[in-house]
Structure 1
Amino acid sequence: MAAVSRPLPTLRGWVVGACGVVLLVAAGWFGRVDLLFAGLLLTLAPLAALIALTFDRPWLDVSRTYAPDAVAAGDEVQVRLGVRNVSPRPTPAMTWVDTLPAGFAPTAARSLPSLVARADTGVARGADTVTLRYTARPQRRGTYLLGPLLVTRTDPFGLARGGYGVGESKVLVVTPRVSALGPGVAEVSRGEGTDPELVRHSIPSSDEVTPREYRPGDPLRRVQWRATARLDRLMVRQEEQLSNPEAWLLLDTVRARPGDGEAFERAVELAASVAVHLLELGYLVGVHETGERRLAGSYQLPGGDHLLVGELAALAQSTEPGGDVVGRFAAGLRGARAAVPTFLILAGGEPGFGGELAALRRYASPAIAFLMTPAASAARESLERAGWVCVQGDEGRDAAAVWSLAAQAHQRATAQRFAEVGDV
């Protein structure tokens, strides 16, 4: 239950031991029995304290909870420790500090009050239990082990100090930051793609949806105001053909060169933000990675957002590609009823990879490629030639800023296509 570290003398213990040695030398020099007795007492006292701390360990049971259970990188998590004395003897007053992994700010040592002996019945009486709390702020996503709890005590005379690790470690899941993204990209077609949007603008009389009467729970964005005004009752778009719109996202997880870890972290944060944004819009989101497959692959609400960010918390870069990534991704896109919103988040810049992805443009609308590293920018020419909208995800821009750039670039590309259609 308790792992003991090597006890060491305190400053007082060193001074007392040194005084004892001096008295022993003086006793031999002057032949004084009283000095010999005092010297032996002072010399052996720190040694006795060290032995006592080695064998007289605190028997404590520690329960550990987090609020929330999973925290986003950069946010605070409240750590609650329930410490109970399971020894038949009271514990002395001690100090405590929790064991934190790298990336967490260390906490200052705090006092742990004396706890009474546990009841003979084995049931906690209240005074043998104390609750400890502190706040941690992880800065980077991942899974971390917090604990064990480190308690430090001294002997009654303050001659020696010993530290003990009590309780077990517990995993804390730190998910990537999920930024709130503004409108402008995925909301354009709600799964229909840009081409139907062009048809609506070139042929304004086309009627693609069937109105029906409003039912409680229908989102207000589906209200069809023309039909409402004509029939004098609230009508909404039927949109049965779009009851399960799809969107696809490809995340580059292959390490192309050393030192691109920060770019990969930005890529994961962007992937989490985009995917959660799409889920909140009602999309069925397919997520593929270019390296070893570690994600479930398909997500939808309810629950899909929590599942995805939890999986992304432990996602690591791979050294080798995960097979025919483009082929699997293309198969998913071809399975959709029409061109669907598709997002590429590239960080590795594998040679020739951009050309393979460029060929998928006919299945994607809108088609957005986020280039997170200079190496990934090598694919820009081939992607833009095929019609992809490319956005540079430079360091210093958060996911919301990169998404805003994508929205602006997409609007410009759409306006250009509207102009081309009008000229025909």
Structure 2
Amino acid sequence: MSAGAPRGAGGPGDGGGLRASLSGLTTRGRSFLAAGIAAAACAYVLGQGELLRVGLLLALLPLICVYALHRTRYRVSGSRRLSPDRVPAGTEARVQLRMDNVSRLPTGLLMLQDRVPYVLGPRPRFVLDRVEPGGHREVSYRVRSDLRGRYPLGPLQLRLSDPFGLVELTRSFSTYDTLTVIPRTEPLPPVRLTGESNGYGDGSRRSLALAGDDDVIPRGYRRGDDLRRVHWRSTARYGELMVRREEQPQRSRATVLLDTRRLAFDGAGPDSAFEWAVSAAASSLVHVLEQGFSVRLLTDTGDSVPGEGGGGFSSGGQESAEAAGLMMDTLAVVGHSDGAGLSRAYDAVRAGGGGGFGGGGGDGLLIAFFGDLDDVQTELAARMRQRTSGAVAFVLDSASWGGQPAPGHAVPPLEERLRRLGDAGWTALAAPPGVAFGELWRRAGTARVATGTTGGRE
């Protein structure tokens, strides 16, 4: 929840001076003022006293309303709450607004308006009745976007008016919130793309508590630990209760590589090939995280999410949930890059760290989403397969999606690219429009079992 007060020391009724208040005259107020001045001038020329009084009344009424509205001394505070603040594309979010009267005077009629980008829908407006001192009013509205991105909501605006509708003053709050629209995801079937059914396994376990007492690596006692694991020699040495560590699983690693090169994709919009690749990458990230993998998101620019610590891979527990949110936030705003090749991504894959790509472990899973690949980039992508336990490529062809390759970008036929990737050990599938990613994911698992892919390590 965020809260703020309208700009100006005295709240909505203060600030800006009489000149700013005069600028708030409505069309009706200006008409009254002009008619009053004209009537007064005619009365002076014609010597009509009655007409002069009418003219003065017409001219003074809007000025009195300006002064009365300017001298209003009540103060209000506003807050906005998003529920939730991160939603998939095409899903609604609820925005709740609350106005509190923190002054000792009741308010008049208020018009509440919130600024929202046009992609989220029409600008919401609400009319609030008189708010008693210390009282509050709550209103809500819904927003929805079919386009991923980060959208600011606010600042909140209050429109004050007099009972005659001659003057309207607008005061803005200073705070705003951000709605993050992440790509759509779909549940994926549990297929085996590596030598393990999930990110944990006996083949990945590392024993930290060896047989001999001298080799034990103890840790401090935690509430709930089995007392049979207490290591008394270490307890005597450190002066606090110590227990033996149990075998801990080493999480297998997975990298989701997203090709964002502008020349690799043609077209834009929710139904474009690039948006399909972004949504499919998001679905892959969610799925492998649920399977217990340590995951990172990589783009052709070589940027890795989460950061470079630990090779850029997520950790377990709460840190894994935070890393998942960070990766989804990145996919919410990812756009086309101006890069021409995949060399930076290749270097990042090669430098993935121990237990993953490079560093001797070589047990990482690579899931890639490629656009148009020329001969050089196809060869580079094929070499990424080395030192991985499994590699799956989903290749999007501009011609299949109703577009054209970038000018000067010679692209081999789709079948040729798939064959070359397959010869290098990839499980390579074409991603045509109209096919659900869940079906392609299932085909990838079936194709791997049929071909008996085991990995092409160096």
Deviation string, structure 1 residues 172-195 (Cα, Å, up to 9, x no partner) = 233222221123353774369xxx
Comparing both chains, which one has the higher relative contact order based on Cα–Cα distances under 8 Å and sequence gaps of 6 or more? 1
In the aligned structure 2, how far is the partner of 1:102 from the partner of 1:276?
Answer: 30
| 2:362–2:387 Cα contact (<8 Å) kept | yes
271-280 vs 339-348, greater mean Cα deviation: 339-348
Distance 1:58 1:135, change over 3 A: farther
> 1:346: which partner in 2?
370
Distance 2:173 2:204 in 1: 65
**TM-score using structure 1 length:** 0.72
RMSD between aligned alpha carbons? 3.6
Q: Is the 8 A contact 1:191 1:341 kept in 2?
A: no
Distance between the aligned counterparts of 2:33 and 2:156, measured in 1?
31
Aligned counterpart, 2:183: 176
Contact preservation (8 Å) 2:78, 2:100: yes
Partner of 2:431: 393
Distance 2:51 2:63 in 1: 19
Instruction: Call closer, same or farther: CA 1:370–1:99 in 2, change over 3 Å.
Output: same
Matched, 1:46 2:84: no
Q: Give the 3-state SS of the residue equivalent to 1:103 in structure 2.
A: helix
Are residues 11 and 413 of structure 1, via their aligned partners in 2, closer, same or farther at CA, if it must alter by over 3 Å? Answer: same
Number of equivalences: 363
Amino acid at match of 2:314: Y
**Secondary structure at 1:384's aligned position in 2?**
helix
- Aligned residue among 342, 358, 361 for 1:334: 358
1:369 matched residue in structure 2 = 393
1:113 aligns with 2:129: yes
What's the counterpart of residue 324 of structure 1? 344
- Residue 384 in 1 paired to residue 430 in 2? no
Change (3 A) 1:209 1:329: closer
Higher mean alpha-carbon deviation, 2-11 vs 181-190, is at 2-11
In the alignment, which residue of structure 2 is the partner of 1:284?
Answer: 294
- Does structure 1 residue 402 correspond to structure 2 residue 402? no
Give the alignment's TM-score, normalised by structure 2.
0.68
How has the CA–CA distance of structure 1 residues 43 and 305 changed in structure 2, closer, same or farther, with 3 Å as cutoff?
same
Three-state SS of the structure 2 residue aligned to 1:256 is helix
Instruction: Assess, with a 3 A threshold, how the Cα gap between structure 1 residues 328 and 257 changes in structure 2: closer, same or farther.
Output: closer
Q: Which runs of 5+ in 1 are unaligned?
A: 118-124, 193-206, 211-239, 419-424
Match of 2:262 in 1: 255
Q: What corresponds to 2:331 in structure 1?
A: 312
Contact 1:252–1:346 (8 Å) recurs in 2: yes
Listed one character per residue, the Cα deviations across residues 333-374 of structure 1 (whole Å, up to 9, x for unaligned) are 234635543211124647722211101224344421122452
Change (3 A) 1:62 1:396: farther
Match of residue 132 from structure 1: 139
Q: Does 1:298 align with 2:313?
A: yes
- Distance in 2 separating the partners of 1:308 and 1:208: 28
1:232-268 CA distance string (max 9 Å, x none): xxxxxxxx89752222221223333796554433322
Indicate conservation of the 8 Å contact 1:299/1:308, yes or no: no
Aligned pairs for 1:85-164 (under 5 A) are 85-117=101-133, 125=134, 127=135, 129-164=136-171
